Amino acid sequence: MTVYSIGLGPGDHELLTIKAKRILEESDIVVVPQSDSKGRSVAKEIILNYINKSKIFMYYIPMTNDKEELSRRYQELAEIIRRHCSEGKKVCYVTMGDPTIYSTSNYLTERLKKLNIQVKHIPGISSVNAASTLLGVPLCIKGENFGVYEMPSSTEKAVEFINRHPTTVFMKVDRRLPVLIEAIKKVSPRSAYLAKRLGLEDEEVYDLLNGGAPKEGVYLSIAVIKK
């Protein structure tokens, strides 16, 4: 039994790979893990450009730190997928960006493997790449490296991370935007941008060094800092 874990890219439906499109089309069931209790899902909007909604199976995984609840949900979803597979259905599940980076797919994949289901990953364009290319800022040039971090909760940690590499990317900035702004004041980097909802209709880019910043943190925002 094999299922596919598909990366959908950052939001623009044209940034899906040809392979991902083919597997979506060939699947009988496309599982969309959804964290919004009202059922809103950017992933669903993307795949509706390629497949009929009758193939989509939405499954709610709440944004919570309750590990038991999350474990129960992933296990239940893995068992649902196994049932479909054993009925001979072709199943795939999708995630925004790349499936191996801060993604629900990582947890689901673990559960499926324990149920002896083989998982094949189809890479997606990560928001890390989408942000750097949109900004036209190289992530690294010869002899350099770059760091990608989940936005820390303390300014000290953020400063430490920025100082480690020529380029630093912070994901999941969201409500920790004030920490980022504070860290930038301390480091005075060459450039610091925040990109919000890349590839979507309300995409926006903020130049954090020149006073540009959203009034409050927004979900789906990523920062690229050049020291």
Ligand X SMILES: C[S@@+](CC[C@H](N)C(=O)[O-])C[C@H]1O[C@@H](n2cnc3c(N)ncnc32)[C@H](O)[C@@H]1O
Which residues are at the interface with ligand X (CB under 6 A)? 10-11, 95-98, 101-103, 126-127, 171-172, 174, 195, 197-199, 220-222
Tell me the C-alpha to C-alpha distance, in Å, between residue 34 and each of 31, 57, 156, 197: 9, 10, 33, 17
Please identify, using beta-carbon distances, which residue of 85 and 169 lies nearer to ligand X: 169
Please identify, using beta-carbon distances, which residue of 159 and 171 lies nearer to ligand X: 171
Total H helices, total E strands in the chain = 7, 10
Rounded to a whole number of angstroms, the minimum distance from the CB of residue 150 to ligand X is 8
Rounded to a whole number of angstroms, the minimum distance from the CB of residue 175 to ligand X is 10
Rounded to a whole number of angstroms, the minimum distance from the CB of residue 99 to ligand X is 7
> 71 by DSSP, 3-state: which?
helix
Tell me the C-alpha to C-alpha distance, in Å, between residue 141 and each of 74, 130, 137, 167: 39, 17, 10, 10
Please identify, using beta-carbon distances, which residue of 160 and 203 lies nearer to ligand X: 203
Please identify, using beta-carbon distances, which residue of 43 and 85 lies nearer to ligand X: 43
Rounded to a whole number of angstroms, the minimum distance from the CB of residue 217 to ligand X is 10
Question: Which helix (H) or strand (E) covers residue 177, if one does?
Answer: helix 177-187
Rounded to a whole number of angstroms, the minimum distance from the CB of residue 143 to ligand X is 26
Over the range 178-216, which residues count as b (16 or more CB within 10 Å of their CB) and which as e?
Answer: ebbbebbeebebeebbbbbbbbeeebeebebeeeebeee
Beta strands in 54-136 (DSSP E): 56-60, 91-95, 118-122
Please identify, using beta-carbon distances, which residue of 86 and 153 lies nearer to ligand X: 153
Residue sitting closest to ligand X (CB): 97
